[in-house]
Structure 1
Amino acid sequence: VSAVRGVDLAVEAAGIVKDILFHANQKVEANAGLLQLDDAAERADLEATKAQAALDQTALTRALELQKRGVGSESTLDSARAAASASTSQVNRLQAVLEQKLLTAPFSGTVGIPRIDLGQYLTPGTSVATLQDLETMRADFSVPEQQLPLLKIGQTVRLGVGDGELPFTGTIRGIDPKIDPASRLVTVRAEVANPEAELT
C-alpha cells in the first residue's frame, strides 16, 4: 500500500535557507509555501532591472513618436525596440528566479520530516522533505488468472491488511496485462479513499 501521489520535494535554485514554513507531518494545501531561500540580492536586481525596463520603454515610445514625425531614424527605432525587449526579458527572468527561491507544495498532502536547517546552503536538487497525499492510497494485489474475466477497470473491491477482515473499499484502476508465468497470478491496482489515514 502506498500513496497515490508522493514526491521528494527539492529546491530548484541555490541559496541559503531563510525560512522553513512547515513542520513534520503537517497537512498542507497545494501551492502552500514550504521553504524560502534568501532572495534579497535577486529582489534588488529585479528592482534595478524594472527601472531600466521603464527607461527603455520610455525611449522606445519617444523613438516611435519621432519616427511618426519623420525625424527619427530606422536604426534608432530598432535599437530602442531591442533595448526594451531585452530589459523586459531580463525582468521576466529575474521574476522566474525569485519564484524558484520559494519552494511550494505541488499538491495537497502531508509533509515529512525536514531534511534541512535554517541558514544551510542548498544546491539545486537538494531534497528538503517528502510530500505524500494520504487521502487516497494505492493498493497492488495479485489474483489467480482464472479470476481475470471477473475483473474490470472501475469495479469496486473490498480490501484488508492481514487478519482476514476487509474493512476498506476501493476501485480498480489498473489490471496488468501480463500473467506471471511461474505463479499464474495477475497484478491488480486499486485506489482506496483514506480520509481517516487508517491506511499508511
Structure 2
Amino acid sequence: MAKLRIKSDWFQTGTAKTPAQMASAMAFIAWRVAQNTLKQMRSAHFDIEVGPQYFAFTREVLVFLTQVLDRMAYERMEPEGRAEFITALVRRVAEVLQENEDSLLGVPPEGAPSHYDEFIDLFNELAEHYADFGFGPDGPDFAFTRYLGHRIEALMPAKDRRWVVDQMMATEVPEAVDILRRAMQGVLSTEPRAPRRARAGISGD
C-alpha cells in the first residue's frame, strides 16, 4: 500500500516561523493525513460511505490529530506560543472541513449550526476527554488511541465494528502520528535544507 508522503519544507530557511504560520502548515497536513486515513480504511474494506458518515469519520480523526499536535506543541513551544498555535490550528482545520462539507453536502439550513461550528463544538467537547490521556516519547498512550477507536466504532456498520478498533490502534494511528511528528520537525526547523530536485509539496496516492 502506498504511503502518504509529506513535504514540510519552508522556502525561507534560517528564520523562525510564527505560531500562526506553523498552524496553517500543520492544518493542511492534518487534513491530508485524515483523508489518507479514510482512504486506507476503505481500502481495508471498511464501509465508509460518501456523505454524512464520511464527514463524521473525518471530524473524529481531525479532532484526534489536533489533540496530538497540541501535545507535540506542548513539548516544543512556550505556553503563549502553544496557545496561539492550537487556536489557529483548530480554526484553520475547521475552515478546510467546512469548505469541503459545504461543497459536498451543501450549506446547513438557516438556524442550524454551520459545519465550522460543528467541528469547533466537537473539538471543545472532546478536548476535555482527551486531556485525561497520556502522551509520551512514543506518542499517544493506549487509552488515547483506544478512545478514538471507540469513537470511530460508533460510526461504522455492524459488520465492521468487531475489527475497527484494532485497525485504528494497530495501523492507522501509528502511521498518522509518525507523519505528524516528522512534519512538525520540518515545520519547526530553521536549519537549511538540502537541495531538492522536485518542487516541494505534499503528495500521496
TM-score by length of 1: 0.27
Higher RCO (CA-CA < 8 Å; seq separation 6+): 2
TM-score by length of 2: 0.26
**Bigger helix share:** 2
**Structure with greater Cα Rg:** 1
**Bigger strand share:** 1
